[in-house]
Structure 1
Amino acid sequence: MQNQKKILRLIAISLASFFAYAMPSYADTPYTVTDGKALDSNSYQGYKVYRQWCARCHGTFGQGGPKAPNLAESLATLSLQEYTDTVTSGKVNPAKKATKSGRMPAWKRNPTVMKNIDNIYSYLKARADGAIGTVRPRLGK
């Protein structure tokens, strides 16, 4: 009986380890793109919220602008946690510390942005990975 419990525990640990490493993680590809510009519903929602709240500084498709960096490039190396922390708490660019344009606001009090923080990440990650270009995406089927 004691050996059976040990064997069952060993099997459970083995299966958990297998699935933890064998299954793709959310951070790998949190989006689906078809036909070069059709996004899954979450990423498409992220695009819409991005356009409403982020595009004024970061550009229509995340390509950056005079006030803010290119997010398609930034998210190629930025982790999900770093992205979430930046959106939630804001960020100051040390090189432009004295100017208003060197400061990204904290969005933690904006319920629309916070509700869609993962969706925005999915859209921007698709841009960073080159899965979708500087095109107006559409909702996929």
Structure 2
Amino acid sequence: MKSVAILLSFASTLLASCPLFADGRPYTVKAINKVDSDTFIGYKVYRTWCARCHGTFGQGLAASDLTKTLKTTDRDEFFTVVARGKKGRIGVMPAWQSNDSVMKNRDRIYSYLRARADGALGAVTPELID
């Protein structure tokens, strides 16, 4: 019985660490620009570290348009590129594996960009859901 309790505890911890909502999306968007706290933090971290190359809202600038790229990129591939960087047609995306802020928040960055790629969130500054 004790091993079952430990297993259930481990399983619930594992599930809690995966930010997926009931509909399978890693974000919640209400109205035009109201988002859950993880997606909001993802936007803030994205603006700090990614926007200078990928544009204010992921629409592309000196680097790729992430609202298009994420339509064909899964979470694991996104995490790999963020950590290791990538050589592309335009240039080189740096590896962020030594940046604690990016690595600790990559799930949140993914949630924000996934909401943008899915069209659930437009090119607007998000606000927290009340």
Query: Normalising to structure 2: TM-score of the pair?
Result: 0.81
Could you tell me how far 1:140 is from its partner in structure 2? 1.0
1:127 maps to 116
Q: Does 1:26 align with 2:20?
A: yes
Which of 32, 47, 52 does residue 51 from structure 1 map onto? 47
Partner of 1:104: 93
1:118 corresponds, among 101, 107, 110, to 107
Q: Which has the larger radius of gyration?
A: 1
Matched with 2:32 is: 36
Instruction: Tell me how far 1:70 sits from its aligned partner.
Output: 0.3
State the alpha-carbon separation in 2 of the partners of residues 36 and 115 from structure 1.
Answer: 27
2:70 pairs with one of 68, 71, 75: 75
Q: 1:83: Cα distance to partner?
A: 0.3
Structure 1 stretches of at least 4 aligned residues deviating more than 4 Å after TM superposition: none
CA distance in 2, matches of 1:68, 1:109: 21
Structure 1 residue ranges without an equivalent (≥5): 1-24, 97-101
Q: What CA distance in whole angstroms lies between the structure 1 residues aligned with 2:128 and 2:96?
A: 26
Tell me how far apart the structure 2 counterparts of residues 75 and 84 of structure 1 sit (CA, whole Å): 12
SS in 2 for 1:136: coil
State, as a whole percentage, how many aligned pairs show the same letter: 53
Paired amino acid for 2:58? G
C-alpha distance in 1, partners of 2:76/2:20? Answer: 12
Q: Does 1:138 align with 2:123?
A: no
Residue number in structure 2 paired with 1:14: none
Q: Describe the superposition over 1:110-139 as per-residue Cα deviations: whole angstroms up to 9, x where unpaired.
A: 000001000000000000000000001111
SS in 1 for 2:80: helix
Length, aligned pairs only: 110
